[in-house]
Structure 1
Amino acid sequence: MFESIRKHTKIAMFLLFLLIIPSFVLVGIDRNYFSSSSPVVARVDGHDITQADWDNAHKMESDRRRAEQPNMDAKLLDTPEARYATLERMVRDRVLQVAAQKMHMVTSDSRLARSLQEIPQIAALKKPDGSIDTEAYRALVAPQGMTPEGFEAAMRRDLAVGQVLAGVMGSSFASTAQAGATLDALFQRREVQTVVFKPADFAAKVQPTDEDLQAYYKANPALFQQAEQAAVEYVVLDLESLRASITLNEDDLRTYYKENVDRLAGKEERRASHILITASKDAAPADRDKAKARAEELLAQVRKAPASFAEVAKKNSQDPGSAAQGGDLNFFARGAMVKPFEEAAYALKKGEISDVVETDFGYHVILLTDIKSPRKPSFEELRPSMEAELKQQQAQRKFAEVAETFSNSVYEQSDSLQPVADKLKLKIQTAKGVARTPMPGLPGPLTNAKFLEALFSADALENKRNTEAVEFGPSQMVAGRVVEYTPARTRAFDEVQAQVRQRYVAEKSAELARKEGEAKRAAWSQNAGGATGLSAPVMVARDKPQNLPRPVVDAIMSVGADALPAWTGVDLGPQGYVVAKVNSIAPGEAPEAGMAAQRHQQYAQWWSNAEGMAYYETLKTRFKVQFKVPRPTASIAEK
């Protein structure tokens, strides 16, 4: 049968065509027929956001964040919380886009043009005639995968969306009385006395048995884990390693000496005197012409009698710093004077007088009085510095050439680092006790999160293959391999018995301190006269915690003002239990006028943001926002 079909392919295709097409005509083609469906994760105004949309948006956001912060740990961008934050931003953008459409928010051409001009990179493209350099503009937006037209359309859309909340937030205001009521409570002061029940004071009362320690050890295995570790070897390609492998040719070194001895010897210095007739660059043209004419008169005078230059400068120069010295400016090198003056002085021979030189200060007549040429050091004197300079230059060029060779070699010969080390004359280095997280005291590459992630990848651990070449700094690359791997394990009780006892005693001591503190607080609340050990009274405020821990300050400021004195207690765990007595309440210190205005402005901003968020929540309800995936809950460790 199949042989028959092969011989009559065209006929078979025609018959299949007749059978399949009518079924589409009668039944229709499902819109998902040609595409795989993706689960819906959120819905805004009846429009779906799919899992694929979410994944793509999060990838783009992660790429953007990594580009902005290259040293960021990539794992931070892939947590459930980070991914959900991306979904919430997507929903927010959709809500505001729908609101802008339904409210007919539009961006005028003039508003768009003004906003574009506010972007420094675009403003820099303006030509003298006021138009924008089109090609440069196109090149500017191209890395974003956009054309100028697409960029402007996105900008127009963003401006329209921005108007949705701007109307609410821009019209928000906070009266002085309103701000005062809130800020007075925020900066309120309270007189308090405290006493700390320290766990250390109760440690002697804790006498654990072997059974107690064994039970604690079994109940808390995570506390006695030995982290996974690896012994690794690695090779580093950097300028230092390349510089060490470079041997300089003697002829090249001598040629370099001949070409650079003047530069290496130092700068030539010149000594000059001048006569200055001042004329501000902003002065009227007539005034500048008058000053120039005066300078030309003096030039003619000193050219007739060069020996009189100093005397003429003393009587006529308007430079207060040099006139008294006959115009002498002492020695100066290139870069010390304004450009026109410098060029004129360095064009003269010793004893020559310049033409009139115009600068922003006015008009100068310059006499070159001396030239100090630096001594040219010998070849042997400069050899060390020339060798260092040449090796640095060659190392930089060589790095650009061999970086690709380094990357390819560690990948193509992945079972050993020896080939790349031999090829590029690199040293194989070793380290023990390397963990997934950077540890203090280890060399630079072993503190790089990206390199450690590569070392502890499944391929590197299971197959003992080389990692990829990882760039861990400017002109610095590293590749490594795991030689020996020790997985994480719970250490035996005998290994950690002292640690088990220490932890057990610390926890029980903290528990006893808490119980004693709670009992004393309850008793003193009934009979304040029996309170002992309280500190001297101090005034505490949120901005002046008086070295008290933040939880204690929060508890003190939360005590009601209706019945004073009042008592509160805070469990600080290993730091003990704090009992605090609130004696009285006082208003906050009156701020200076500038600080008061700043606080009011900050409060107004808070209020504006709050109104913006409230309006956004209203829009979410109006446009029937639905999240189809639950918000991730924080782990116990995070709490």
Structure 2
Amino acid sequence: MPRTLHYTDGCGTARRSAKKQGLRAAMLAQIRAFAKSPVAVGIFALLILSFLVFGIGDVLGAGAIKDSVVQAGSRSISSLTFKQRFDAFKKQVEQQQNNGQPITAEQAAQAGLDKSLVDQLAYSESFAEMFRKAGIIPSDTLVVSELRKNQAFFDPVTGKFDRPTYQSRLAQAGMTEQQFEGVLRDETAQTHYISGIAAGLVVPRTYLASLAAYAREGRDFSWFTLTPALAGPPVQPTDAQLLAYVKENAATFTKPELRNFTMVRFSPTLVAQNLKVDEAAVQKRFEFERDTLSVPETRSFVQAAQQTELAELREQHAAELQASAEQTRRQIEAVNTLLKDAIEKRSADAAFAVKAGEVSGPVQGSVGLQVLKITKVNPGHQATLDEVRAKIEAEVKKDAATEKVYADVQKYEDARTGGATMAEAAKTLNLETMAAPAPITAQGSDLLGRSLNLPPKMLESVFSLPAGGESDVLDLGQGEYVAVRVDKILPGGLAALDEVRTAATQRYVMAEMGKKLKARADAIEAQVKKGQTMAQAAAAVGAKLETAKGVTREDAGKGEYSNDLMTKVFTAKPGQVMIGEGSQLGYIVAKLDRIQPVAPATVAPMIEAQRDNFRGQLFDDIGFATRNAARDLIKPKVDYNKARTAIGLEALPEPGKAGAGAAPAPPAKTK
């Protein structure tokens, strides 16, 4: 049974000298900066995903839970919690990798998102459970302290932690205080643990030197390019050849399911275009907003605590006065330009009762007697309707249009409830039905890949209805509503030859040209290996022989040096001939002439310049090993089929029942 450490600051509570306290503060500042850097992603990736993206674990439960998708010691992820996290994960994927277009749960599962998420959660829960078993448990005091540093929970006026704001933000995220603080406790423990490792990590100089030498090692090689012209004129394929090519590349030439649809749009923007402005409503709104639209008078003043101090102020220049206030904080309590409503009432009355350059009589303020000297009066301006008419009219139109749209939606829904079709209900309200400009895919684009920028909720409805199906009114936000009808469903499948003839022909010709060039390159490689020089080989095909000196790994992908070529150059031995893909269409025949080791004189400065980066790389490797250690120690169990059923999919067959209770797959190494 391990001893449990309920700590308050991660370093014990013993007294320290002032010097040690200063060192500790500096160290923690460096640690926090390091923890936020890309280098630390390897350690914190799973934790951050769990904390910021997926929500929280069932951190309050103990022991096995029958409904758990993930079980890591005393911690578990239930089906409901997994569903919430999966939805959040899928939404992020849609935004970051699918141009904001929705994907179905089935599509996500086909891409392996469900299984990937299960594995990530298993590792994050194992990591947290490992700390629990080690007895590293932050105290309530430390958790509260960390909580009160989160500015998302601050009151924007007072700039201080505000419990109602805290509770409101958690409610928006669907979390309770206890759940959130449980996650914060996990994060604090793990941050302190990793910080300890980072603070004491010293990278051996030999390791740094090896990395520097590897990065700066150069290559000398000769090369020439085989251009498409060497493949001869393109040969047009027969229909039989083209059809065979299409079938061989079915993934490229398979059409997605397409849908035609019609919609009825309820839009304040469209309605406002045909509305006449009600002058009485304009005048009424202007009167309501007049004070907000006007510019109030403001005054610059010097506020002194005592009359004797004011006498001193009168003898000094304004700039000297302000400098003195900043240095001594003795004479001036405030130098400001303020609205009358923004300062204490009695002081404001006094300030606005005298003219520029004058001094008010003593005023009893909250900090004692005060006197004010007015240094400048900034006149206000009373807004007129003519000045702001365009703004007021636009607001009146928008409000009227919003009210009309809401009324139209109610009447439309009443008509549909009474048995009217979408078209019939729209006709009774003189609303226009609009057909989509082109059949669309589930990603919201046409066959040419052009996005129609449809709202996700609308697109989801279109692909959830059968042919002829009509939706209810969908609330798109911002006062916009729409109803849709699916007119026709065009099933996906392998395209007919005539539909893709042009694209397939172009691809076929390019593929055949590539085969001919590769065959030519292979023949040249064989001749060079038999003794033909690179100059003779280049001359035989009319190519120009080039030489490269001191090329490093950093040059990959630059100019003629494709990644494919550089990979082969840096794995070859001197004298070896190789064929690489060109940076453009074609192939490159190259021969490695010499390996240039890095000059010792350049290693030392490079080590110093890159020390932090190398330290991060080593720390990342340690982090990867730590995650594996947590997995091996806790031995989490996962149920991929429960994960599937949690997101509304059918369970897959389980040969030998290997799915339930299986260990998660190793995570991808973060670099």
Short-chain TM bin: 0.5 to 0.7
Shift of 1:514: 1.3
> 1: CA distance between counterparts of 2:318 and 2:139?
57
For residue 439 of structure 2, the aligned residue among 429, 434, 438 is 434
* Equivalent-residue separation in structure 2 for 1:368 and 1:150 (angstroms): 54
| Native 8 Å contact 1:241 1:426 kept in 2 | no
**What's the counterpart of residue 569 of structure 1?**
579
1:485-523 alpha-carbon deviations (Å, 9 max, x no partner): 333354544555444433322111111111112222333
- Aligned to 1:390, which of 389, 393, 396? 396
**Maintained 8 Å contact 1:235/1:427:** yes
Map 1:361-510 to 2 at 5 A.
Answer: 365-366=373-374, 384-395=390-401, 401=406, 405=410, 412=417, 416-418=421-423, 421=426, 426-436=431-441, 437-439=443-445, 446-457=453-464, 459=465, 461-466=466-471, 469=474, 471=476, 474-488=478-492, 490-494=494-498, 496-510=500-514
Quote the Cα distance in structure 1 between the aligned partners of 2:537 and 2:220. Answer: 16
Equivalence map 1:100-249=2 (5 Å): 100-121=131-152, 138-139=167-168, 141-143=170-172, 147-149=176-178, 151-160=180-189, 171-199=200-228, 201-204=230-233, 206=235, 208-209=237-238, 211-217=240-246, 219-220=248-249, 223-244=252-273, 246-249=275-278
Of the three residues 546, 549, 555, the one matched with 1:544 is: 555
Q: Which amino acid aligns with 1:547?
A: G
**What is the letter of the counterpart of residue 233 of structure 2?**
A
Structure 2 CA distance for partners of 1:289 and 1:94, relative to 1, 3 Å: same
Q: 1:625 to 1:168 in 2, by over 3 A?
A: farther
Where does residue 311 of structure 2 map in the other structure? 293
What TM-score results when the alignment is normalised by the length of structure 1? 0.66
Distance 2:174 2:378 in 1: 61
Q: State the one-letter code of the partner of 1:602.
A: N
Separation in 2, partners of 1:261, 1:550:
66
User: In the alignment, residue 396 of structure 2 is paired with which amino acid?
Assistant: L
Q: Call closer, same or farther: CA 1:515–1:155 in 2, change over 3 Å.
A: same
Match of 1:85 in 2: 116
Q: Residues 258-295 of structure 1: CA distance to partner in whole angstroms, max 9, x if unpaired?
A: 6667877x65889x9x9x9899xxxxx7xx86551245
- What SS does structure 1 have at the residue aligned with 2:520? helix
Deviation at 1:240, TM superposition (A): 0.6
RMSD of aligned Cα (Å) = 5.2
Partner residue in 1 for 2:19 = none
Once the two structures are TM-superposed, the CA of residue 83 in structure 1 deviates from its matched residue by 1.1
C-alpha distance in 1 between matches for 2:604 and 2:138: 40
Give the match's secondary structure for 1:568: strand
- C-alpha distance 208-250 of structure 1, shift in aligned 2 (>3 A): closer
Q: Distance in 1 between matches of 2:130 and 2:184?
A: 17
Q: Runs of 5+ in structure 2 lacking a partner?
A: 1-64, 321-335, 364-369, 539-543, 639-657, 666-671
Provide, for residues 75-102 of structure 1, a one-character-per-residue CA deviation record: whole Å limited to 9, x for no partner: 4754452111222123224433443344
2:516 aligned partner: 512
- Supply the distance in 1 between the matched residues of 2:239 and 2:378 (Cα, whole angstroms): 93
Measured in 1, the distance between the counterparts of 2:144 and 2:551 equals: 53
3-state SS of paired residue (1:118) = coil
1:541 partner letter: T
TM-score, length-scaled by structure 2? 0.63
Q: Is the 8 A contact 2:578 2:589 kept in 1?
A: yes
* Equivalent residue, structure 2, for 1:333: none
Specify the code of the residue in structure 2 equivalent to 1:509: M
C-alpha distance in 1 between matches for 2:316 and 2:213: 68
Provide structure 1 residue ranges, at least 5 long, that are not aligned to the other structure. Answer: 1-35, 280-284, 299-314, 321-335, 634-639
**What is the rounded CA distance, in whole Å, between the counterparts of 1:290 and 1:592 in structure 2?**
69
Task: Give secondary structure in 1 for the equivalent of 2:138.
Answer: coil
Contact 1:410–1:479 at 8 Å: present in 2 too? no
Question: What amino acid maps onto 1:118 in structure 2?
Answer: K
Kindly indicate whether the alpha-carbon contact (under 8 Å) linking 2:218 and 2:552 is maintained by their aligned counterparts in 1: yes
User: Which letter does structure 1 place at the counterpart of 2:259?
Assistant: A
Q: Percent identity over the alignment?
A: 18
**Alignment: residue pair count:** 538
